[in-house]
Structure formats: structure tokens, C-alpha cells
Amino acid sequence: MPLQLYKKEKILDACLAVFARHGYEKTSTAMLAEAAGISKALIFHHFKSKHELYLSILDRCVKKVRAELRIRDLPDQPNFFEVNEAFIRIKVDYLRRNPDVYKVMMEAFHATPDELKVEIEEKYGELIMARDKSWKQLFEKVPLREGVDREEAYKLIRITLDYFEQKYLSEITDKSEWDEAIVRRFIDEISRFLDMIRYGIQR
């Protein structure tokens, strides 16, 4: 790896941890420079602003997560609910190994800083739509009761999954806390709620 690129990668790694810990708005350039072990001037030699640095880190995170989770393969799978459970397990395992990546992505897409909203929407809007399209294509295979609106049913499932993802992320602040018992509890709770949606709650 060329020295210049290696330096940029080291800066990105160091700054990722700072953004994950403090969030975009509470992170200062002084904090980033200290974490990277370089001067603010040198950070701005590689990146024009905190804004650009954050977006570079986010772009790197998105590429890593897409490669790991293989969302584009979803429509080829046979069972929406079984794939969901397997996907959640893969996602949680990834979070345990890469908590900073996950925290930055959660902020970027679920609590987007005002300064970045337009740019993130323009840059990643199509990617998010493609992800949703893949899940919806898989959901098309689910037979529904007569009278159930497919779009509304899918929306209910997404609301449920998003709720649990944000709930557990806010509870877990350190990857060492993600022991197997917590992972199992997380997956079991989601599965129970999805089963209620899938099979109904009225006797």
C-alpha cells in the first residue's frame, strides 16, 4: 500500500472511533487530530473538513457492511422469516466485531446530523432503496391472508425490526457486553414479535 494511502487509512481508523464514541456534532477537529496523532493542519491536508472526513469514513463503513451482509443475494432466498433471523445473527456478529462501524452507520442513517442530511440522502438514497427492494422482493414470496395489504404488512415488520435494532444498540455500548446470552435474548425477542405478526395474536 502506498505510504500516502496508508496514512489516510490510519487517520480514518482513528477518527472512526472518535465519531462512534461522540457522534458527529460533538466531535471536534482537535479530538480527531489527537486520536490520529497528527496536527489539525495535516488532517485538513488529507480531508478538506470534518464534514468530508465523516463522509469518507461513512463511505468506507458502507462498503464493508455491504460486502459482509450480501443484501443483494436476498431475493434468491426461499423464506423471508428464516432469512430475517439468519440475517439478524450475521448483523449482530458483525456488530460485535465492528461496533464503531455500526454506531457511525446508525447515526448517519437513523439520526442524521442536520449538516449532512442532504448529502447523505443524495449519496445513499438509491442504495437504501435497493436494499428495501431486495427485502420486498423476498417478502413477495410470503402468502398473506385475504384482505391483508402487502405494503402495510411489510411496513409493520420493518418498524418492528428497526425498533429492536435501535433499542439494543442504545443498550450495548461496548462490544465486550455482547455475550452469547444477550445475543440469544435479542434474536429470540425479535423472533417472538415476528411470529406474532406472522401468525396473529387473537385466539
Instruction: Classify residue 19: in a domain, yes or no.
Output: no
Distance CA 36, CA 89 (A): 33
- Return the closest-CA partner of residue 131 out of 149, 109, 104: 109
Instruction: Classify residue 91: in a domain, yes or no.
Output: yes
Can you state the angle between helices 99-110 and 50-69, rounded to 10 degrees? Answer: 110
**Cα-only R_g, the chain:** 19
Tens digits of residue pLDDT in 99-146: 898 889 888 988 889 999 999 998 888 888 888 888 898 899 999 999
Asked if 190 and 89 count as a contact pair (C-beta separation under 8 A), the reply is no
Range of the domain at 109: 58-199
Q: What is the largest CA-CA distance in the chain?
A: 66
Instruction: Classify residue 48: in a domain, yes or no.
Output: no
**pLDDT-based confidence at 1, cuts 50/70/90?**
very low
0.85 exceeded by the pTM? no
- Report the mean per-residue pLDDT for the chain: 84
Instruction: Classify residue 6: in a domain, yes or no.
Output: no
Instruction: Classify residue 10: in a domain, yes or no.
Output: no
Instruction: Classify residue 62: in a domain, yes or no.
Output: yes
Instruction: Classify residue 39: in a domain, yes or no.
Output: no
Q: HSE (CB half, 13 Å, CA atoms) of 157?
A: 23
Instruction: Classify residue 16: in a domain, yes or no.
Output: no
Asked if 100 and 16 count as a contact pair (C-beta separation under 8 A), the reply is yes
Structural domain count of the chain:
1
